[in-house]
Amino acid sequence: MQDIEVIAPNLKHSLSGVTTTVIRLLPIQDKMIGIRATGPGLPDELPHIRLWKLLLLPNRKRVWHARRNTEMLMGLFLRTVFRRNYKLLFTSAAQRDHSGFTKRLIRKMDALIATTPQAASFLEHPATVIMHGVNTELFHPSEDKQALRQKLGLPEGVLIGCFGRIRPQKGVDLLVEAALKVLPNHADAHVIFTGRATKEFEAFQTEQEQKLQDAGLGDRVHFLGERPWEEIVETYRALDLFVAPARHEGFGLTPIEAMASGVPAIACHGVGAFSAQIKDGETGRLVEKDNAAALAGALEDMLQDRAALAAAGQVARAHVEQNFRIEGEAQAIVKVYRHLLDEG
């Protein structure tokens, strides 16, 4: 077995963007460097080591790559209490001022990665900017959308998707408001949301569903709940258009996952890395954030010309292949690992 040089902790049971990052990067990085994930909620096939077994490894220099406060804290604990020879690395996607506690943890890291220049500006310490990429072999266009929709139980017509947690931060209500304006003009159009509403936001989802019912659109906007990852990947391919209406986002992978699947995307200026991902007017549209009217206008424009919509999907796929392949992200992160391991 390859010697373990990097530990990538995932200290959260539920699926999240950070967990997804670990799941998609490790199989590629494992071909470049000895790396293992640790923690709950990870697929069995992922390169993995049980958390307690870390203390049984020979105490040689390794990188501990944290992506959450809890993981920074555990890395510090293992280094100071158990005297593990860890170089501590933290990746931040947050585009906001960090809490005092987080800032104290960040100061104790040996190196920092930020997923966007904006995220780097909030770290107050030098950071390497490495933008996320996607697996263009996993995310690819469908050869037969109709057959795929039948398999997944999805409606025919023009299918618009929005994936992520059901909460105001993700702009679910903005897309609902836009759908109320646009769907009456396009009788074959449907919207699907995937993702669960935690208990805190169940009333929020109910409110959105009631708006749609009151407008007679309850059968054309579908809340599918949390779906298995493999199904999400296939659902991207079944879409004609993807919308990421988030008000706040750390990075935001969903538009490039959609574009890699041959689906153009609409997202918001100044949110996450959306402005860097989407070529406005070519691979999709960028609209003003927190603006349901602007979102409705972009939806209307794209739905009016179905041939242009399909052509934008082809351009989007080529754009991701050229600029957002996951191999480039993995290589850049491994370069940071090597630098830390080579330090005296």
Q: Domain 6-133+326-342 - what CATH class? A: alpha beta
Q: If we measure between CA atoms, which residue out of 262, 201, 195, 199 comes closest to residue 227?
A: 195
Given a cut of 90, whether residue 43 has pLDDT beyond it is no
Given a cut of 80, whether residue 17 has pLDDT beyond it is no
**What's the pLDDT at 94?**
87
How far is the C-alpha of 126 from the C-alpha of 106, rounded, in Å? Answer: 11
**What's the pLDDT at 260?**
98
Q: Are 77 and 91 in contact (CB under 8 A)?
A: no
| Mean pLDDT of the region 94-103 | 93
pLDDT per residue over 106-141, tens digit each?
A: 999 999 999 988 899 999 899 999 999 999 999 999
How far is the C-alpha of 81 from the C-alpha of 152, rounded, in Å? Answer: 50
Confidence band, pLDDT 50/70/90 cuts, at residue 96: confident
Q: Domain 145-323 - what CATH class? A: alpha beta
Output the average pLDDT for the chain: 95
**What's the pLDDT at 12?**
84
**What's the pLDDT at 18?**
84
Q: If we measure between CA atoms, which residue out of 138, 141, 130, 204 comes closest to residue 174?
A: 204
| Mean pLDDT of the region 65-74 | 97
How far is the C-alpha of 142 from the C-alpha of 175, rounded, in Å? Answer: 25
**What's the pLDDT at 15?**
66
Share of residues in the chain with pLDDT > 90 (%): 87
Where are the domains positioned within the chain?
Answer: 6-133+326-342, 145-323
How far is the C-alpha of 8 from the C-alpha of 65, rounded, in Å? Answer: 5
What burial letters (b/e) apply to 169-178, b meaning 16+ CB within 10 Å? ebbbbbbbbb
**What's the pLDDT at 2?**
66
How far is the C-alpha of 136 from the C-alpha of 256, rounded, in Å? Answer: 10
Share of residues in the chain with pLDDT > 70 (%): 99
- The two domains 6-133+326-342 and 145-323 share their CATH topology (first three levels equal): yes
pLDDT per residue over 245-288, tens digit each?
A: 999 888 888 999 999 999 999 999 989 889 989 999 999 999 99
pLDDT per residue over 205-258, tens digit each?
A: 999 999 999 999 999 999 999 999 899 999 999 999 999 999 988 888 899 999
